[in-house]
Structure 1
Amino acid sequence: MSRRTEEIPLMSPAPGTSRSLIVHRYGTPGAGPKAYIHAALHADEWPSVLVVQKLIPMLDAASETGDILGEIVVLPYANPTGLAQRMGGHVTGRYDYDGSGNFNRNWPDLSEAAAEKLGGSLPKDPAEAIQVVRAALRDAAAELPRRTRNQEWRAILLGLSIDADYVLDLHCDSEATLHTYTNVRHKDLVEVLGADLGAPVNLLEVEAGGGAFDEANAKPWWTIGDFLDGGADLPAACFGVTVELRGQADVLEEYADADAAALFRFLQRRGVIGGDPGPLPALKNPVTMLDAVDLVRVPRSGIVGYHKEVGDLVSKGDVVATLYDPSAVDPVGARLDLLAGTDGIMFSRFSDKLVEPGENVAKIAGTESLSYRKAGALLED
């Protein structure tokens, strides 16, 4: 079956303007596992847009040869509102100008609404239970409010993704190595995905907090049981994962080719696409917990000069950067070295070198939980 493409119109933000989502569909709904993939939910993060442009022809070819065994939904861009947000020539598509905040925070939790549709209990057969929960989640997503542009957009995206087995939310960091975030329940799956991607850092959370898109799709599978008899035995049937495709400037053909091929192989390994993906590469490093990530913050404003590159191994106490105060009478005496708080990989740093108090200028993936990192606030924004 060939690709089907539809255009979903969105509420107009003003007279004389229009916006829409493009949705590419492959395979037959219900025939096998479903994967949902989208790019640029944060609309100032573009490596994923090029990756999806590379992935679509691969999916087209698989579709023509009958190798789409399940269902795949692909959005080449997820956030037309954010893509249109320009200020002084700069796309600022991380936060909505309407005041609703970060585009990837506070997504609706559909657990309770879906549970109400299930009559208080679940079938004892796990496969049957998964199917009825998926149907209830679809119904709950269909009933989300659509009064505002932001509500409508969120309802549409969740309606497309909420019944998927695999939700791949493609992002990037400021300056970074390739890394992933997912729930600890999906450790085995992210080890496979991380190995195919060649990601040196793969982070697990128990409770990340913030209501990110991947969590909105995955979390109901372990929270809906709070409202249902037999819910404690429900499998965590949606692998929701955030894939950070390096840094904002890493919109490069060679990276996009490799990343698209890796995503395609992962879908083959999970039975969404047919064919031989080849042997699984070795995982570059063991997965680590998100609460073991040290956030290097600045106490005051200034200019940051880095001593470490992304991907460097650092030891606790190493100077990773220096903060300079251009307003200081004694520029040398005012310098402040910023130190690593753990041993690990410095996998991210801040591309804007003029910083204000409290900003996080580097992330270091360690192996030991850090006392100041708190469950439910691990995303820190």
Structure 2
Amino acid sequence: MLPTTSSLQIGELAAGQALTLPIYHFKPSGKHSGPKVYIQANVHGAEVQGNAVIYQLMKQLERCDILGEITLVPLANPLGINQKSGEFTLGRFDPITGVNWNREYLNHAIDLPTWYKEHAELSDSELIQAYRSTLVEACQRRLRNDWGVTTGHRLAVNLQAMAHEADIVLDLHTGPKSCKHLYCPEYDIASAQFFAIPYTLVIPNSFGGAMDEAAFCPWWQLSEVAKVMGRDLEIAVSAFTLELASQERICLEDALVDAKGILAYLSHRGVIAEQVEPAKMRRFGCYLKDYKKYHAPMAGLVEYVAPVGEPLAAGETLVNLLRLDLYGSEQELTALSLPQDCVPILHFASASVHQGTELYKVMTNLFELPH
């Protein structure tokens, strides 16, 4: 079954042209009412591999028995995608405000104890629907703000309003030069076993500005308030960020691997009728507090020695730093290392760096995830 298509206007260019997003919908067959899914890609301009994953996923879904509505939004940020300088895509930050495109989402300031008391007589399903409506209406109200909203915030809140309609939210990204890794909320760590991703960052149940947190945090907060009031309420929304290797790259073969990993999760959740087994692989995690950034202690030209996704022992060379201006001195070539065992996850894209540049992000204190 082919998806239906639609579009959404999320802004206007200075000359008046409409900015629109392509949207694809897979509807359940028959009267099925499985979980609703929202998947987006390419919020950051250079992070294009998620579009290939959505393509491969749709090809797979055409042959599936769909039990829950699936909404897919590739090319989710046309402004970022078109933010070019020469051969490079710069679309990580809104050029007008300088804000990260993935930090523009609305942090709902709902008085939850009061809201819960006003709706406490509802059944669980009625309560979930009422809260979902409250979140969507808050996004729509924000977009109607009498004082207006910034271009980036308008884009983000439009995306967020669609995501709030779903039970499962997947945000597809990549790193600069990166291995695959998953951002997973602490309460939902068991879900990491379904994706075809070897490394998982376990993030706290708090809002830091990204889409995954914007999607799951309101529901975790509601569950916590209900618990205080003596009610055991499930966390109704699952949300993850999938980092699908490196930016400025499309690989359809690799995209199929990740699409099948997403299918395994959707199968587990009852979104499709088919039984899709997760990839057999060892998976490791670390808590966000143990995800370390290494900044260049001096400027120079960098040879990135440590490959991403492979364990690195303390003291082993991470990078070689070349300083031609110091040729003939002891500092002409410096091997830099870390004081702790780790797994490098991503590194800076350029080989020329300022002092203080974030060279690597590494996972430390890893543990193996159940499978």
Task: Work out the CA distance in 2 between the residues paired with 1:265 and 1:277.
Answer: 5
Deviation, structure 1 residue 118:
5.5
Task: Work out the CA distance in 1 between the residues paired with 2:62 and 2:273.
Answer: 13
Task: Work out the CA distance in 1 between the residues paired with 2:117 and 2:220.
Answer: 18
Amino acid at match of 1:11: G
Residue of 172, 175, 178 corresponding to 2:174: 172
1:245 aligns with 2:247: no
Task: Provide Cα deviations, 1:148-190, integer angstroms capped at 9, x if missing partner.
Answer: 3223212210111013221110001111211101211110112
Task: Work out the CA distance in 2 between the residues paired with 1:311 and 1:171.
Answer: 17
Task: Work out the CA distance in 2 between the residues paired with 1:98 and 1:346.
Answer: 33
Identify the residue that residue 294 of structure 1 maps to in structure 2.
292
1:137 aligns with 2:163: no
1:325 aligns with 2:323: yes
Residue of 47, 55, 62 corresponding to 2:49: 47
1:364 aligns with 2:366: no
Between 120-129 and 321-330, report the one with greater CA deviation.
Answer: 120-129
Gaps of 5+ in 1: 370-381
Deviation, structure 1 residue 131:
2.6
Deviation, structure 1 residue 111:
5.0
Root mean square deviation of aligned Cα: 2.7
Between 236-245 and 105-114, report the one with greater CA deviation.
Answer: 105-114
Task: Work out the CA distance in 1 between the residues paired with 2:339 and 2:120.
Answer: 46
Gaps of 5+ in 2: none
Residue of 197, 200, 205 corresponding to 2:198: 200
1:149 aligns with 2:137: no
Identify the residue that residue 267 of structure 1 maps to in structure 2.
266
Task: Work out the CA distance in 1 between the residues paired with 2:162 and 2:247.
Answer: 26
Amino acid at match of 2:38: Y
Helix, strand or coil: the match of 2:262? Answer: helix
8 Å Cα contact 2:205-2:220 kept in structure 1: no
Task: Work out the CA distance in 1 between the residues paired with 2:21 and 2:248.
Answer: 25
Task: Work out the CA distance in 2 between the residues paired with 1:207 and 1:304.
Answer: 36
Deviation, structure 1 residue 360:
1.7
Q: CA 1:281/1:226 → structure 2, altered by over 3 Å: closer, same or farther?
A: closer
8 Å Cα contact 1:296-1:339 kept in structure 2: no
Deviation, structure 1 residue 60:
2.8
Q: CA 1:308/1:208 → structure 2, altered by over 3 Å: closer, same or farther?
A: farther
Task: Provide Cα deviations, 1:230-272, integer angstroms capped at 9, x if missing partner.
Answer: 3974322211111010112542121012111221222112111
Task: Work out the CA distance in 2 between the residues paired with 1:125 and 1:220.
Answer: 18
Task: Work out the CA distance in 2 between the residues paired with 1:205 and 1:10.
Answer: 30
8 Å Cα contact 2:83-2:89 kept in structure 1: yes
Amino acid at match of 2:105: W
Q: CA 1:282/1:258 → structure 2, altered by over 3 Å: closer, same or farther?
A: closer
Aligned residues: 360
Amino acid at match of 2:72: V
Q: CA 1:111/1:16 → structure 2, altered by over 3 Å: closer, same or farther?
A: closer
Task: Work out the CA distance in 1 between the residues paired with 2:307 and 2:78.
Answer: 33
Amino acid at match of 2:259: A
Identify the residue that residue 233 of structure 2 maps to in structure 1.
234
Q: CA 1:171/1:341 → structure 2, altered by over 3 Å: closer, same or farther?
A: farther
8 Å Cα contact 2:191-2:265 kept in structure 1: no
Task: Work out the CA distance in 2 between the residues paired with 1:30 and 1:108.
Answer: 32
8 Å Cα contact 2:26-2:71 kept in structure 1: yes
Identify the residue that residue 3 of structure 1 maps to in structure 2.
3
Deviation, structure 1 residue 297:
1.5
8 Å Cα contact 1:104-1:212 kept in structure 2: yes
Q: CA 1:282/1:4 → structure 2, altered by over 3 Å: closer, same or farther?
A: same
Task: Provide Cα deviations, 1:333-379, integer angstroms capped at 9, x if missing partner.
Answer: 2443322242232222222111112222122212269xxxxxxxxxx
Task: Work out the CA distance in 1 between the residues paired with 2:263 and 2:39.
Answer: 11
8 Å Cα contact 1:118-1:136 kept in structure 2: no
Task: Work out the CA distance in 2 between the residues paired with 1:92 and 1:266.
Answer: 32
Task: Provide Cα deviations, 1:2-34, integer angstroms capped at 9, x if missing partner.
Answer: 522111123212115332111111225992201
Q: CA 1:133/1:348 → structure 2, altered by over 3 Å: closer, same or farther?
A: same
1:22 aligns with 2:22: yes
TM-score (norm 2): 0.88
Amino acid at match of 2:53: V
Deviation, structure 1 residue 39:
0.9
8 Å Cα contact 1:114-1:140 kept in structure 2: no
Identity %: 27
Task: Work out the CA distance in 2 between the residues paired with 1:269 and 1:205.
Answer: 22
Helix, strand or coil: the match of 2:143? Answer: coil
8 Å Cα contact 2:187-2:205 kept in structure 1: no
Deviation, structure 1 residue 117:
5.8
Identify the residue that residue 343 of structure 2 maps to in structure 1.
345
Identify the residue that residue 376 of structure 1 maps to in structure 2.
none
Task: Work out the CA distance in 2 between the residues paired with 1:52 and 1:22.
Answer: 12
Alignment of 1:52-63 (within 5 A): 52-62=54-64
Identify the residue that residue 313 of structure 1 maps to in structure 2.
311
Deviation, structure 1 residue 115:
7.2
